[in-house]
A and B are shown apart, each in its own frame.
Chain A
Amino acid sequence: MGNSVKIGVFITVLFRCYICQAQSDSITKLPDSHFKLKLSSNSSVIYPGISTGIEIPVHYIKEPELIRKSEKRAFFKTRFVSANLSWYHHPEFHDNLYFTVEWIMRRIRSGGFTSEFSGGPGYSRTYLAGTTYTVNESGDISVIKNAGYNYALVTIGGGLGYDFSVKRKIPVSVFSKINMLSMFPYNSTIYFRPVLEIGIRYAPVCANGIRRKGSVLYPK
């Protein structure tokens, strides 16, 4: 082992604690198994829909939050990657089944209230809400089964919620969120669709695969 390597190992051991401490205070990777499952209604005004998904945490940042002039509490900025399968039903127009991958930026207050913004690409398959006929050159008429279109999709959204794991140690959060879907090429242009999600998120396992008694997802 060369001298430079020995010095390197010595310095690493010497500063190991400082490095670890620094990470736990500012940026820490959450265990991969701290994923969350999501189930929500996915309506657009009066039309029904449903959305399911999984959120995988990428990292969180703990930051001080100014409560009063001299009082500070910690809050968390978390980042997730999520995969969602969603559907809505617009009678006489179409059913839309779409898959999205989103980057979520979520802020969790010390009291448990959350706010978030998200965005990402996706794929949409629509199914026309009515029998669809086609007429060939000879004038013969036939019905097209599962008529509809494939679209590229981009979604952006924002919402509010409450995370019960912060105060009550229940691994569940509730949320409401408005997403704006943009689908293209829709008749050679872009189709916009606002949808409102109201649902719950649930974290089924912790780092070792078993939920610890009284464990919290966001360390203080």
Chain B
Amino acid sequence: MKIIYFTILLLLLSGCQKEVITFSTKASDVFYVENAGASMRVLVEGNTASNTFILVIHGGPGAGSFVYNTNYISQNLEDKCAMVYWDQRNAGASQGSANSNNLQLSQMVDDLTKVIKVLKYRYGQNMSLFLLGHSFGGLISAAFVTRSEDQIMIKGLINVDGSHNYPLNDSLTRQMLLTFGLRQGLYSKKAQKWEKIIQYCLRHTGNFTLEESQQLETYAIKAESYVDSIDKIDLIGTVLSHSITDKSPLTSILVNLLYSEDSDFNKELLVANYSGSLSAVTIPVLVLWGKYDFICPPALGEDFFYRISSKDKKMVISPVSGHNLILQDEKLFCYEVSAFVKKYK
């Protein structure tokens, strides 16, 4: 009996790492990329036969890619191209042991380069690959595309509410909170709550510490919830509702997020700034932004848009979105991304 059991066990264990590469209109392949102490999960879902791939660089740090894999995107984007959901190191379903020393921005850019190389190794060197950076993912993609040797690996960049300059981001968040609060917040039902935010912004004027930066982000998240015009979304609910179909490792997602949010890595991010090198970007770029994004204000998107040298570039503002345009305005997101990819693939 025991021999039979262990034989089955060994077969299962050997079977679970079998290489599966699917070329179809409804592919769903999972593989891992090991680099510097982290094994990062990559899910390729959708139309791999199209030879067009969009690599999602999620926010955070540590947020994971599960939240982006919605039914709407599956039905309206994955039929045209393949979405690549990459869990960065110390995020989502990515695994490792004692690897905190490698939680650095330069390491993450190296991770991204290697994920792209593995993607091309699996699905073909001539694939049309686009990067899609959201929030913190905008910083990684900015670091990546400002290196000319890396830029040629992709056909185009989609920047959705991404942050390419953290010090500027903090200043713009403060400015937007203050301006919106004084003009509209104080005259709304949430006047008392806006008053608290305004007072904080008036007391903290610049050269922000990590604590101030985090407090501004906390107020930005709250401010978004005070604005009635925004389509509200439940990020936790979204992850939980898909947890069975997506086979999400919920506790891994949680502990990775908590660790990354609280790690010293955030001190490095406080001064991360790629504004000065954005002129090196020449590939086609699509910039999508939420009008009510207090976390990464639209002015940050404009800074990115006007600094890049790309001749083929477009910026679209969603009137009903905050920081999570991908989920808050899925129709606009899928429409614009589809059109962009179709044009430049």
Q: Which residues of A contact B (CB under 8 A)?
A: 46, 50, 52, 87, 89-95, 97, 126-135, 139, 141, 143-147, 149-151, 185-194
B91-99, B232-240, B310-318: which lies at the interface? B91-99
Q: 1/0 per residue B50-81: CB within 8 Å of A? A: 00000000000000000000000000000000
Other than the given A93-B252, A147-B17, 16 more pairs (CB < 8 A) read A50-B5, A90-B249, A93-B93, A97-B13, A131-B17, A131-B18, A132-B34, A135-B117, A147-B39, A149-B96, A150-B97, A186-B96, A187-B38, A188-B98, A190-B255, A192-B255
| Assembly CA distance A95 to B18 (angstroms) | 13
Query: A128-B39, A141-B117 in contact; A92/B97 too (CB < 8 A)?
Result: no
Contact A192 B251 (CB under 8 A): yes
Q: Are A128 and B32 in contact, CB atoms less than 8 angstroms apart?
A: yes
B30 at the interface (CB under 8 A from A): yes
* Interfacial residues, chain B to chain A (CB-CB below 8 A): 2, 5, 9, 12-13, 16-20, 30-35, 38-39, 41, 43, 89-90, 93-100, 103, 114, 117-118, 121, 244, 247, 249, 251-252, 255-256, 258-259
Contacts of A93 in B (CB 8 A): 41, 93, 247, 249, 252
Q: How far is the CA of A92 from the CA of B247 in the complex (A)?
A: 7
Q: Cβ of A95 and Cβ of B13 under 8 Å apart?
A: yes
Query: What are the residues of chain A within 8 A of B99 when measuring CB–CB?
Result: 187-188
Closest to B19 in A: A131
A149 to chain B, nearest CB (A): 5
- A130 touching B251 in the complex, CB below 8 Å, given contacts A143-B19, A145-B17: no
Q: Which residues from A are CB-within-8-Å of B256?
A: 187, 189
Q: Which residues of A contact B94 (CB under 8 A)?
A: 187
A146 to B103, CA, bound (A): 24
Expressed in whole angstroms, the Cα–Cα distance for A168 and B39 within the complex equals 52
Q: Across the interface, which residues of A come within 8 angstroms of B118, CB to CB?
A: 133, 135, 141
Select B247's contact among A91, A134, A150, beta carbons within 8 Å: A91
Q: How far apart are the CA atoms of A97 and B93 in the complex, in Å? A: 18
Nearest-neighbour CB distance to chain B for A94, whole angstroms, equals 7
Chain A residue, CB-CB nearest to B110: A135
- A132 and B247 in contact, given A52-B5, A127-B16, A186-B97 (Cβ under 8 angstroms): no
